[in-house]
Amino acid sequence: MFSTATVNYHVKSPYSQAFYFDTNGDVGKLVSPELLSSQVQVQDIRRGDLTVNFEDNGITFESHTSQIVSFSKTTGWQETYNNELTALLSEKIGATEVIIFDHTVRRDSKNAIRRPARNVHNDYSPEGAKQRLVDLVGTKRAVEISKGHYAFVNLWRPIEGPIKTAPLGFIHPDSVSPDDWLEIALVYPDRQGHILGVTANHQHHWFYMSLMTPQDIVIFNVYDNQGKPYLAHGAMDLGNETGTTQPRISLETRTLILF
């Protein structure tokens, strides 16, 4: 069964494009490149009409109950949570080493510093991923890691739920053309990175899991040095969200995985 959702695709341009974060020292201020609001048909994986797996599609939806019940602004919960995720990634995708380097809480609220990312994107370009590897482990170890199999993998879950606004949607990698991607710079006050934006294509096959709760977690690829699929994704606005008073609050964890 399909539903209608609104997503924001990137638009190709002859000029370089970038997101500018915390511009002029204003924390949370974001200046975006041009985006195209588009309606798409999205399939609900919870209904069982579509199955995906990490090996073939770069994504898996899992049930996982954390010991953590409050993901506060302090970092006291992170050691326990990191240990949980390391065990999960070892079990579900065969990770032999897990380096967790970021936790981001997103709130679907006008006053939130980090809101859901509503642009259709992938977190790294190939060059951006290689540079991030160096940033995390240093040049010498990055060279050694690059001789083997590594990937950048995200884990995403609600921390209050169920999710009723801005659910995270994905494009099946088999439906994305190489021409759909374009490089977008991320410009921060102290550094610069690169992601891949995605342009509109009526062939895109969108899917998501409806009403995800804190006991649901999705694990998905954003880069793999041996060419396994990675997922274009973005927050969606569904047509049935009107009048919903419970905003999405989610936790996104970024990891470097060695196999």
User: What would the pLDDT profile of 151-161 be if each residue is shown by its tens digit?
Assistant: 999 999 999 88
Query: Smallest Cα–Cα separation from 218: which of 13, 63, 15, 36?
Result: 63
SS3 104: strand
Segments making up each domain of the chain, as ranges: 2-258
pLDDT at 15: 84
Instruction: pLDDT band for 26, please (50, 70, 90 cuts).
Output: low
Does 242 score more than 70 pLDDT? no
Q: Please list, in sequence order, all residues whose beta carbon lies within 8 angstroms of the beta carbon of residue 184, skipping any fewer than 6 positions away.
A: 10, 17, 18, 19, 33, 121, 194, 195, 196, 197
Q: Does domain 2-258 have CATH number 3.30.70?
A: no
Supply the pTM of this predicted model.
Answer: 0.92
pLDDT averaged over the chain?
A: 92
**pLDDT tops 90 at residue 28:** no
Question: Residue 241: which pLDDT band, with cuts at 50, 70 and 90?
Answer: low
DSSP character string of 55-114: HHHSEEEEE---S-S---SSSTTHHHHHHHHHHHHHHHH--SEEEEEEEEEEE-STT-SS
- β-partners of residue 61 are 218
